[in-house]
Structure 1
């Protein structure tokens, strides 16, 4: 660990526990679309919906992918009953405030869904970068490069926090240091966001 100029946080699975809602939407979409859930399950988290849909429905045109992604997102917009902050989120947000560290949420969700889920979890980020704002989403570096540029810091001075391989790949491709949850391999491994809060405070 070292000192960072900014912290860039993924949303789903990192700041917000929305796993059940995400999976319910994909299972429903799979049933409607004739896609085996077993084929879809490894791709449910971390990618923008169009990326996942193109992988499991290569037969669809660009317009078909767009319609399918819109339907998949529609299934998620109001499914918020069990969306809550992940363990350690409150502790990390307090630490970021105390350390006066700029931070942003960088998500593969669209703005409507991101605002709904962050609102349900009681999180108000100072900056939000969503899938609509870059030409390419995760696992490409564009979202994290955009967040760093908007914060006025170099990507190499940013710490990205992720819980999925596409997000880790995006952060590393952007030149950021990446901290990973869920036992995934990255520059730093953490069990919860509270662990990250302790690491950041120890470096200041």
Structure 2
């Protein structure tokens, strides 16, 4: 193993970690930006790890953020054709007891559930979405609440993230973070380990403890 650690729970981001949905998200945001005469590249860059409402408030404060978020979310709920689980996601989740993992996403619960169904991945017992927190990532509230609801201490939870905003949220919550994908490949300041995808992670269960390792 290149790295290993022992934890009481694992907390996963969704898009780009469990589900291969970043292409769909990018297309939806580019179409929305074009409708409003906004820079599509900037919208995509700012969106990574953020809630839609936070993106709109940051990129286009002159717009009605709640109304625009509702429009984007409605499109996201419908646009799930062709979504699939990322390598290793199904196998890793199958190895975890349902009470020892959760999903903490910047998308809404409905969008997350639709994407998990489309990707044929199991629904988590605990799913925290955009509407469940007063402030999105990089604020740590979502991860802190997930740990509390699972009955675990924050320092005993491992976060799996693909975005800087999410990794910063994990760090602010006092949690270790494994980075997935290119955005966090060289960010050892934010992560304890990095993997290209979840097929490089292994988990074994020892009582109530998860032994997590990177191949």
Cα distance in 2 for partners of 1:202, 1:56 equals 39
Which protein has the bigger strand share? 2
In the superposition, the TM-score normalised over structure 1's length comes to: 0.91
- 1:46 counterpart = 2:49: yes
Offset at residue 36 of structure 1 (A)? 1.4
Q: Structure 1 residues 188-197 or 158-167, which shifts more?
A: 188-197
Tell me, what secondary structure is at the counterpart of 1:138? coil
CA spacing shift, 1:38–1:192, aligned 2, 3 Å = closer
Match of 2:34 in 1: 31
1:102 paired residue number: 100
Could you say what secondary structure the match of 2:44 adopts?
helix
In structure 2, the CA distance between the partners of 1:10 and 1:201, relative to structure 1 (3 Å rule), is closer
State the number of aligned residues. Answer: 198
Question: Residue 20 of structure 2 contacts residue 85 of structure 2 at CA under 8 Å; is this kept in 1?
Answer: yes
1:35-90 Cα deviation digits (max 9, x unpaired) = 11122221232100011111211333xxx111111111122111111211011112
TM-score after normalising by structure 2: 0.86
Q: Does 1:193 align with 2:205?
A: no
SS of corresponding position for 1:149: helix
| 1:30-179 → structure 2 map (5 Å cutoff) | 30-60=33-63, 64-97=64-97, 102-123=100-121, 124-179=123-178
More helix by share: 1
Superposition deviation, residue 33 in structure 1: 1.4
Structure 2: 5+ residue stretches without partners: 205-210
1:74 and 1:94 map into 2 onto residues whose CA distance is: 30
Aligned-partner Cα distance in 2 for 1:52–1:197: 34
> What CA deviation, in whole Å up to 9, does each residue of 1:86-110 have, x standing for no partner?
111122113324xx87000111111
Assess if the C-alpha contact under 8 Å between 2:77 and 2:114 holds in 1.
Answer: yes
* Residues 4-43 of structure 1 deviation map (CA, whole Å, 9 limit, x = unaligned): 0000000111011111211111011111111111222212
SS in 2 for 1:87: coil
The one of 8, 13, 33 equivalent to 1:10 is 13
> Moved runs in structure 1, 4+ residues, more than 2 A?
198-203
Structural RMSD (CA): 1.8
**1:201 CA displacement:** 5.2
